[in-house]
Amino acid sequence: MEHLTWKKEGHVAIVTIDSPPANALSSGILKDLSTVLDEVEQDSTIKTVILNGEGKFFSAGADIKEFTTLQGESDYAALAKKGQQLFNRIENFHVPVIASIHGAALGGGLELAMSCHVRVVTKSSKLGLPELNLGIIPGFAGTQRLPRYVGLPKAYEMVLTGEPITGEEAVNLGLANHAVDDEDLEVFSMKLANKFSSKSGPSIHAVMKLLPYAQTSQFNEGVDAEAVEFGKVFGNSDAKEGITAFIEKRKPNFKDQ
């Protein structure tokens, strides 16, 4: 792949956007990211994904130069749909995806990060949706995901001013989970990913299906689905191992089955 690299460390896939200088989200990066998701899905031993950026930025936004090659409303709408579909796929992925953010996550970069399940930022990171400064609007579901995390009043302010917030502010607002010093980002993100990955694979997959119900009006459907998944998980050998290990006061040795 031209724009991304990825490697596997234990049960963790580390995916790196590598398109200097700003890791701008071009069509090529979106295509490569989709390919990486395909490859990760084929490896049943991967339990967590870390998404980060090479160089100075996580991603400073969409590839503005690419916009100049598009013709008419239908082309722009198609580009927006392409990004939205990919980011929806990340949000609905079968294992957790951690966005490990340094430098800037702006525009499409923040929209990508918001589609991930957990965000770890540096304290000095800049996060924002500055599209209105260019006379355009967010197109990869930024207007829909941002209010989930920061609330509608703050979302109005961030989008209408286009002004970024720091990593520390993002944590205070609920947009990020953790803010760390720059030098600690990689180690902290990996430590968190290993915590996730220490759990049983079937349990992780079940939780990834269930938690999104909480963001919809389908509470009863979510409760019913939880009961079904609860029954399935208890039929796994990992459940027996986990309970036995708890009784014997030792760490479980899950086999992901």
Catalytic residues: 111, 131
Determine the Cα angle at 190 with ends 192 and 186, to 5°. Answer: 120
Alpha-helix runs per DSSP H in the chain: 27-41, 64-67, 72-91, 108-115, 142-150, 152-161, 167-173, 185-197, 201-210, 219-234, 237-247
3-class SS at 73?
helix
Assign 3-class secondary structure to 86-145.
HHHHHHCCCCCEEEEECCEEECHHHHHHHHCCEEEEECCCEEECCHHHHCCCCCCCHHHH
Cα angle 164, 172, 208 (rounded to 5 degrees) comes to 95
What is the distance between the alpha carbons of residues 125 and 5, in angstroms, rounded to a whole number? 22
Query: Per the structure block, which two tokens stand in for 195?
Result: 């915590």
